[in-house]
Structure 1
Amino acid sequence: MRKLLLISVLSLIVSIPTFAGGLLTNTNQHILFLRYLARDASTQIDAVYSNPAGLAFMENGFHLSFNGQSAFQTRTINSTFAPLAGFGGNATKKYKGDASAPFIPSLFAAYKRDKWTFSGSFAVTGGGGKATFNDGLGSFESGISLLPIALAKVGFTGTNQYEVNSFMKGSQIIYGLQLGATYKITENFSAYGGVRMNYVSNSYLGYMRNISVNLKGGEMVSLTDPSVVAQLQAAKSQFDYLAENASTPEDKVKWATASATVQTVSNNSADVELDCDQTGWGVTPIIGLDFKKGKWNVGVKYEFNTKLNIENKTRTNSRELAAYKDGVNTPHDIPSLLTAGITYEILPVLRASVGYHHFFDTHAKMANNKQEYINEGTNEYLAGIEYDVCPWAQVSAGMQRTKYGVGDNYQSDMSFAVSSYSYGFGAGFNLAKNMKLNVAYFWTNYGKYNKELSNYNGTGIAGADVFTRTNKVFGIGVDYKF
C-alpha cells in the first residue's frame, strides 16, 4: 500500500498538450493553421514554421506576423474501482480537469532578397496549458480507498468509509525560438536549414490531506488524530506480542502480517505534498525542401529528435521521493517530425491542400521509459480549402485526423493520448495592400480510450479507466509586409 501511494504522487509528472500536434509538439502556431490546417506546402508567412523552404516563393521584402490564441480544454477520466465506493457510495467516479491557456502569442518574421530568405519565429512549441483537478484523480484516491479495507482486516471491524482532500495542478510550456535560411536553388526548387532553441518550463503542485475513516463504523475521524494513533499503536503492539509468542509458524506469519498492515496504515496517514518546478533546454535541427511549378506546390520538412533533460527545482517533497529531489534530471526528448504537403490552385480564387505528419515518438526518451509503451509514432492526415469571396476577403476550412500509437501501459489518468478529429474554419481580410487580418475557430472531437486492468494501480484488485477530452481554440492574427 505504501508503494501504491508513492506511485500516486509520482504521477504528478504530466503532459499537458493544449494545441494540435503530437505528444509534445504544437503544430498550430499561426492562425492560418486554425482556419485551414493543411499548411505543409504554404508559401506565406506561416511557412516560417510549417514549410520554411516555401519562403523562397514569397515577394521580396520584410514579412511580419503576430498571432494570439486562446485554448480551453477539459480532460475527463471515469475510473471504476470497487473500493472507491467507500467515499460517496459509487465504485465509478468521474474526475474532470480543466486546462486553459487564455493567451498564447506567436511571432513570425522573414526577410526575402532575391534567392535568399532569412526567417525566425518565437512561439509556444509544446504544452501551453494549465490543468487543474480539484478532486484529484483515481490514481491518487485508489491507494487511500484501501485503508478502510486494511483496517477492517486487522480487527477494526465496521471500518468501510474514508475521506480525503485531494488536489492536483500542473502546467507545461515549451518555448521555441527558431532561426534559419532558405535558398532558391532554381526557379522551381528551394531548400532550408535552421535550428530551434527549446526551453521547457513545467510546474506541478499536488497534495492528499486530511485522510479520515469511520473507525469501527463510527464517526469520520482523521487517521492522524491522537486517539486514533494510540489505537493503532496498541493494535500493533498486540500483534507483535502474538507474533513473538506464536505456537506455529503459520500463526507467526499471520500476526506479523497484521502488524505490518497496521504499520503501513500509520505510515500512510500523514498528508502528502509535492511542489516542484522543472526546467531544461535543447536544440532542434530543421531541414526542408520545396518544389513549385504552375498551380502545384510541394513542401517537405524534417525536424530532428531533440535531446532534452529537465531538472527539478523542488520546494516541497513531503515523502522525500527520489525522483523529485532537488536537482534530479529526467529525460524529456521532443520527437523528430516529418511533414509533407501539396497545394493545388483549382481556380485563381480557389485553392486546396493536403498534408501528412509523422512523429517518431518511439525514438524520444521519456520519463520512466514510457517510449517503450508506444507501438508506433503519431500519424496525422490533413486537408484544407480556401476561397476568395472577393478581392479583400477569403474564407477557409480544414480538418485533421490524429492517430496515436500508444498502448495501455503508456496511458494513465495523469498523461493520456486519445485519437481525434480536428476541424477549423475562419477568414482572412486584407485591411490594406500590405496588411491582413486572420480570424479562426478550431475544435477537436476526441474518441474514448478504455483501459481495463486486473491489477488496478498496483492494488491487486481489478479496475478500469475511460479517458477522453474536449478542446476549443480561438485565434486572431495580423500579417504585415513592407
Structure 2
Amino acid sequence: MHITKLLPLFATAAFAGGIMHNTNQSTDFVRNFAQDASISNSAVYYNPAGTAFADDGLFVSVNSQTVWQTREIETDLLGDYEGESFVPVMPSILLNWHRGNFAVSGGFFLIGGGGEAKFYDGLPMIDQLISAMITAQSSANPALAKLAAAAGISNPTDLFSAKFTGKQYVYAWQLGASYRFFDMFSAFLGARFNYADNAYEGTMKSSIDNETLNALFTKTLLDCEQTGWGITPIASLGFHYKKLSAGIKYEHNTSIEMETDTEEIDATVAATMPQFTDGAKTDNDLPAILSVGVSYAWFDWLRTGIGYHHYFDTFASYPNDKQDDLDGDENEFVFGIEADIVEQLTVSLGLQRTLYGITDEYINDLSFVTDSWSIGGGLAFRFTPKFQVQIGYMETIYEDYKKKEATGITKTYDRTSHNIAVGLDFKI
C-alpha cells in the first residue's frame, strides 16, 4: 500500500464530472446533461461561444444544489466502513451580457470538491497504519503487550476507534467574451481563476478504560489545511443555424500548487505522509478538458442533444504523481431530451456514462471513483418571457470495484450520489 499517495485526493469528485472537476454547474445540466451545444443561460459554462447567439440584454441564472453521498468500503478481514457527505447549498451564478454580435459572460462556481466527507468509524488504511504502529510498540514495550493481554485483546484494532474528515473546495470565477460572425458561427476566449482550500482531520481514541492505554491511543493524528490557486485559459467555438446547434470547448490544464498549514500531526503520520507536514507543497492540478456537443430541434416542442467530454488526467500533475497510476484518461458521454408540454412548461431527461482510467494502483480508501451511469430529469416553468424557474434531480449509480492488496486484504469500493437543483433565470 502506498500510504503517501492516499490523503491528498480525499474529497475530490464530490459531484458530477471528472476526477477533479464538478460539471453540474447549473440546474439545466441536472435535468438534461446534454448542454455542450447550449445557447441559453447555461452556455456561460458549457458552451461559452454560444453566448453570442443570445438576444440583446443581460441574462442572469442563479442556482443552488443540495447533494448527499455515501462511500462504502467492504473488507474481508477488517469489516465494513461507510462515509457520508452532505452539502446543503452548492451555489452557481451565470451572467451573460449581449449586444449585437458581441457578448461578455462570466460566473461563479464550485469547480471542484464542495463538500465534507466523514468516516465516523475510520478507514481500513487508517486502522492498518495504526495497527502496524501498535504492533511495533508492543514488540518494543512488553508492558504494553501485557496490558493488551490482560484486557483480553489480541487484535490491535480493538484497542482504539478512529475517525476521519476531509473536505475540499475549489472556488472559481470565470470571465470572457464571445463574438458572432457570418451569423451562424461564434468564438469565445476567456479564463477562470480558481482558489483551492482543503482541510483534513483524523483522530483516534482508546477503546479501553485504562489510563496507560488512553494516553497512548487517544490523540489527534492530523489537523491541517491546504490552499493554492491557478488560472484556467478557456477557448470555445459555436455554431447555430435554424434548428441545429453545436459547440466545442477546451479548458487548458490548470496548474495548482497546494501549501500545507499544519496545526498538529502525529509523528508516525508525519513520517509516512510528509506532504502533510507544515509548509509542505503538493501539486493538485485541474486537468484539461475537451468537450463537444450537438443539439437539434426536431419540432418546435421537441429537442435532443448529445455530447462527449475528455479529461486529460494523465497529463495533469496530481498529488504524489497519482496520475501515473491511471491507465488512461477519463471519457464521458451524455444524452438529453426535452419537450415543451405546454408553452410555459418544459420537461427533460438526461443520461450520462462516465468511464475512468482507474487501476488497482490508483484506487484507495481515500480516493475512489468508479465507472458510473447518471440519470437526471426535471422541469422548467416560464412565468413570463423574462423569468423562468427550474428544478431538477440527478442520481449517479457507481459500479463496484474490487481489489486485493499486497497485505492480503480484499476491498470492495462503492459509492452513491444524489442531488436536487433549483434555478432562477431572468433577463434584465
Instruction: Tell me the TM-score normalised to structure 2 length.
Output: 0.91
2:153–2:159: 8 Å Cα contact kept in structure 1?
A: no
Partners of 2:261 and 2:139 lie apart in 1 by 40
C-alpha distance in 2 between matches for 1:8 and 1:405: 21
Q: Distance in 2 between matches of 1:347 and 1:193?
A: 32
CA distance in 1, matches of 2:284, 2:245: 35
In the alignment, what sits opposite 1:176? 172
- Correspondence list, 1:184-195, <5 A: 184-195=180-191
Aligned: 1:31 with 2:27: yes
> How far 1:323 sits from its partner (Å)?
1.9
User: How far off is 1:15 after superposition?
Assistant: 3.1
- Of 215, 238, 255, 1:307 maps to 255
* Unaligned 5+ runs, structure 1: 85-92, 213-219, 227-267, 457-461
Q: Cα offset for 1:223? A: 5.7
Counterpart code for 2:103: T
CA contact (8 A) 1:397 1:425 kept: yes
Partner of 1:207: 203
Other-structure match for 2:52: 56
On the 8 A contact 1:130/1:172 being kept in 2, the answer is yes
Matches within 5 A, 1:73-472: 73-81=69-77, 84=78, 93-145=79-131, 147=134, 151=138, 160-161=154-155, 162-210=158-206, 224=213, 271-319=219-267, 321=270, 322-453=274-405, 455-456=406-407, 462-472=408-418
More displaced stretch, 131-140 vs 6-15: 6-15
Q: 1:407 to 1:223 in 2, by over 3 A?
A: farther
Q: Specify the SS of the correspondent of 1:371.
A: helix
What is the DSSP-based 3-state SS (H/G/I as helix, E as strand, rest coil) of the residue aligned with 1:139? helix
Q: 1:211, 1:325 → 2: CA distance?
A: 28
Aligned residue identity for 2:190: G
Partners of 2:217 and 2:255 lie apart in 1 by 40
CA RMSD of aligned residues (A): 2.3
Aligned residues: 414
State how far apart, in whole Å, the 1-side matches of 2:365 and 2:6 are. Answer: 12
What is the CA–CA distance in structure 2 between the aligned matches of 1:130 and 1:284, rounded to whole Å? 25
Question: Separation in 1 of the partners of 2:5 and 2:339?
Answer: 51
- Structure 1 residue 17 displacement after superposition: 2.1
Query: Which has the larger displacement, 140-149 or 43-52?
Result: 140-149
Of residues 12, 17, 33, the one that matches 1:16 is: 12
Deviation at 1:148, TM superposition (A): 6.1
CA distance in 2, matches of 1:122, 1:409: 35
Q: Deviation per CA, 1:107-163: give whole Å up to 9, x if none.
A: 111111111100000011111111000010000112344546995998867751332
Q: Give 1:14 deviation, angstroms.
A: 1.4
C-alpha contact 1:8 1:140 (8 A) present in aligned 2 = no
d(CA) in 1 for partners of 2:325, 2:305: 33
CA 1:427–1:149 in 2, change beyond 3 Å: closer, same or farther?
same
Paired residue type of 1:405:
G
C-alpha separation between the residues in 2 aligned to 1:315 and 1:151? 28
Once residues 119 and 23 of structure 2 are traced to their aligned partners in structure 1, the CA distance between those partners, rounded to angstroms, is 26
Distance 1:421 1:438, change over 3 A: same
1:73, 1:471 within 8 Å by CA — same for their partners in 2?
yes
Q: Would you identify which runs of 4 or more consecutive aligned residues in structure 1 move more than 3 Å?
A: 6-13, 143-159, 220-226, 268-272
Deviations 1:338-361 (A, max 9, x none): 000000111010000000000000
Structure 1 residue 8 displacement after superposition: 8.2
Judged with a 3 Å threshold, the aligned counterparts in structure 2 of structure 1 residues 188 and 357 are, in CA distance, closer, same or farther, namely: same
8 Å CA contact retained: 1:211, 1:271? no
| Counterpart amino acid of residue 50 in structure 2 | G
1:468-479 counterparts in 2 under 5 A?
468-479=414-425
Aligned residues of 2:205 and 2:214 also touching (Cα < 8 A): no
Letter in 2 for 1:340: V
Three-state SS of the structure 2 residue aligned to 1:376 is: coil
Query: CA 1:53/1:423 → structure 2, altered by over 3 Å: closer, same or farther?
Result: same
Deviation sequence 1:32-82 (CA, Å, 0-9, x none): 00001110000001100000001111111110110010000000011223x
Distance in 2, Cα, partners of 1:124 & 1:14: 16
> Contact 2:11–2:115 at 8 Å: present in 1 too?
no
1:222, 1:283 → 2: CA distance? 52
- 1:17–1:129 Cα contact (<8 Å) kept: no
What is the deviation of 1:211? 6.5
Which protein has the larger Cα radius of gyration, Structure 1 or Structure 2?
1
Q: What's the % identity of the aligned pairs?
A: 36
Measured against aligned partners, the alpha-carbon deviations of 1:165-185 in whole angstroms (never above 9, x if no partner) come to: 201011101011000000112
Secondary structure of 1:327's aligned partner: coil
TM-score, with normalisation over the residues of structure 1? 0.81
Task: Kindly indicate whether the alpha-carbon contact (under 8 Å) linking 2:5 and 2:319 is maintained by their aligned counterparts in 1.
Answer: no
Q: How far off its partner does 1:291 sit?
A: 1.3
